[in-house]
Amino acid sequence: MRIAETFRSLQGEGPSAGSPATFVRLQGCGVGCSWCDSKYTWDPDKGREAPLPAILDELFTHGPTDLLVITGGEPLEVRGFEELLEAACRSWTRVEVETSGVSSPPASVGNLFWNWSPKLPRVTPRWDDTWGAAAAWMAEPRTIAKIVVGEGDEAEAIRLARTLPRDRVWLMPEAMTEGDLKARSVELAEVCKREGWRLSPRLHLWLWGVRRGV
């Protein structure tokens, strides 16, 4: 399979924010989000090809962690993802997958957690693909919906998020700078207070800015 990078860091978003984690970023994504901060992962022919055992060996060199985060790119569109998932769930206490959810969850395992991030209409022409399997994602008990909200997106975010169970919704600010992150977080905090949703931080952006490998 093709990967962009592996590294050790803190999970920056969602329910495990702040937790030490090993990351594997898969190569390839055809979703095309306008604000994507990892466009270097889009081309499925870039990155590097590695067999599954070599990827696992590389992940173990980062040292022991309870949490493995599989991200992208779009993992659901990467060949070999399901084999990686199976091996990961055998080796880590908790595995989280960051996905836009362009197809249904391909596996259901007790230590596998899905951070499903469906897109809003302004973000990509494929936004409705990411909502097409919403019922299947919500049927998976360890899935949370993490919706990235940018300027002008608030009304659509509220409309779509209200179709989901309240206790599974997280809003996360779209931002590329610390100033925008703070301002948008303050705005979204008010929405979350009103609607009973959670607010996701973006710790990696706050701590290190827009950088690879963090």
| Residue 84 backbone dihedrals phi, psi, to 5 degrees | -60, -45
Is 150 near ligand SF4 (CB under 6 A)?
A: no
Q: Which of 11, 41, 115, 185 binds ligand SF4 (CB under 6 A)?
A: 41
- Any bridge partners for residue 115, and if so which? 98, 144
Look at residues 174, 119, 128, 171 and name the one whose alpha carbon lies nearest to residue 151.
174
| Residue 103 backbone dihedrals phi, psi, to 5 degrees | -145, 175
Interface size with ligand SF4, residues (CB under 6 A):
11
User: Least distance from C-beta 203 to ligand SF4, angstroms?
Assistant: 17
Site for ligand SF4 in 43-72 (CB under 6 A): 72
Is 100 near ligand SF4 (CB under 6 A)?
A: yes
Q: Binding segment for ligand SF4 among 10-18, 26-34, 45-53, 55-63 (CB under 6 A)?
A: 26-34
Site for ligand SF4 in 151-180 (CB under 6 A): none
Is 118 near ligand SF4 (CB under 6 A)?
A: no
* E strand or H helix at 165: none
Is 36 near ligand SF4 (CB under 6 A)?
A: yes
User: Least distance from C-beta 43 to ligand SF4, angstroms?
Assistant: 11
Pairing, β 20-26 against β 2-10: antiparallel
CA-CA distance, 214 to 203, in Å (whole number)? 10
Is 29 near ligand SF4 (CB under 6 A)?
A: yes
165 close to 137: Cβ distance less than 8 angstroms = no
Is 103 near ligand SF4 (CB under 6 A)?
A: no
Other Cβ atoms within 10 Å of 30 Cβ, number? 13
Please give the residue ranges that form the binding site for ligand SF4 (CB under 6 A): 29, 31-33, 36, 38, 41, 72-74, 100
